[in-house]
């Protein structure tokens, strides 16, 4: 009997749980939960490590669970926001605009990098090259980064040269690859983010042209998010204080170059809309 009674009791407990409707059991796990998505800046395991401190902070700040639901690529990340499979997401400027048009996504906050809440893309050439203007690059070779990074191509076309004007162009990945390829004469020119371009100015590269100031990576809310939650999310991101060591650790986990988050609005993204318009036909 000493052995039999616990087994019977356990069975009763299990049967009672199994008698509950499945929907009831699921709701106790997911009610009130916010799902956080992201563009794939790194492999999912690395993105999970980078964003996990932020989700813990948001869970504490909002008083509700915030869990990661990461995507393998940018297209999938945008679709998750549009289809409302995630509630908030860490997106590029172009990804936000696509989600805004297709799924009524709303902007929450933008990132701040080394004190700046904007960035520029810069066309670079070798320091001793003969090229003085963007039109000098007609018939030359050009290095881009990620093929899905539409803003890179849009910046080049917006500067006054068409893609077909190059004798050859390739997508070679990280900005560091571009800088080294131009320096090694593998390409006549390439495009870099401003911080990277400045780092290479004293290492043999010269800035030939620059984009207007562009809004940076951002935090976006899907159409799932009501106005009250949206306001709380904005407050949570804007409350992250780089002078608070605990907060700075969270910010730097997302990206070592970040200082925090700043207020933004949809109008700030009009400059990006204008640049990518030729590619939306």
**Count of CA atoms in the C-beta half-sphere (13 A) of 162:** 4
The pTM score is 0.81
Distance from C-alpha of 97 to C-alpha of 109, rounded to nearest angstrom: 14
For the chain, what are the domain ranges? 32-115+215-279, 121-210
> What are the tokens at 240?
């992250």
Q: Establish whether domains 32-115+215-279 and 121-210 are of one fold.
A: yes
- Which CATH architecture group holds 121-210? 3-Layer(aba) Sandwich (3.40)
142: how many CB neighbours lie within 10 A of its CB?
Answer: 23
How would you classify the pairing of strands 106-113 and 121-126?
unpaired
Q: Look at the block and give the residue holding tokens 């963007």.
A: 134
pLDDT string in tens for the chain (281-residue length): 434 433 333 333 334 333 334 333 333 335 699 999 998 877 888 899 999 999 999 999 999 999 999 998 888 999 999 999 999 999 999 999 999 999 999 999 999 998 999 999 999 999 999 999 999 999 999 999 988 889 999 999 999 999 999 999 999 988 999 999 999 999 999 999 998 999 999 999 999 999 999 999 999 999 999 999 999 999 999 999 999 999 999 999 999 999 999 999 999 999 999 999 998 86
CATH, domain range 32-115+215-279: 3.40.190.10
Q: How far is CA 149 from the centre of its chain?
A: 11
CA neighbor of 100 nearest in space, from 82, 79, 114, 121: 82
DSSP conformation class of 243: T
In DSSP terms, 37 is beta-bridged to 89
């Amino acid at each position: 009997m000493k052995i039999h009674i616990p087994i019977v009791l356990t069975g009763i407990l299990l049967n009672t749980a199994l008698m509950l409707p499945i929907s009831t059991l699921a709701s106790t796990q997911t009610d009130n939960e916010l799902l956080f998505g992201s563009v794939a800046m790194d492999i999912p395991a690395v993105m999970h490590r980078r964003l996990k401190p932020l989700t813990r902070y948001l869970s504490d700040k909002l008083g509700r669970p915030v869990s990661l639901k990461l995507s393998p690529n940018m297209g999938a990340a945008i679709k998750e926001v549009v289809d409302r499979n995630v509630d908030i997401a860490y997106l590029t400027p172009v990804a936000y605009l696509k989600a805004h048009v297709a799924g009524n996504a709303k902007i929450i906050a933008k990132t701040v990098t080394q004190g700046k809440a904007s960035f520029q893309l810069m066309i670079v050439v070798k320091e001793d090259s003969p090229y003085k203007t963007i039109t000098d690059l007609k018939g030359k070779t050009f290095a881009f980064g990620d093929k899905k990074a539409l803003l890179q191509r849009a910046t080049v076309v917006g500067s006054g040269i068409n893609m077909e004007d190059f004798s050859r162009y390739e997508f070679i990945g990280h900005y560091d690859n571009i800088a080294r390829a131009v320096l090694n004469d593998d390409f006549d020119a390439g495009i870099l983010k401003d911080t990277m371009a400045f780092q290479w100015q004293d290492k043999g590269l010269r800035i030939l042209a620059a984009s207007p100031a562009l809004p940076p990576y951002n935090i976006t809310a899907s159409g799932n998010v009501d106005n009250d939650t949206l306001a709380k999310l904005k407050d949570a991101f804007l409350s992250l204080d780089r002078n608070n060591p605990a907060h700075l650790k969270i910010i730097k986990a997302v990206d070592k170059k970040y200082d925090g988050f700043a207020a933004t609005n949809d109008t700030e993204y009009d400059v990006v809309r204008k640049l990518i318009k030729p590619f939306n036909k």
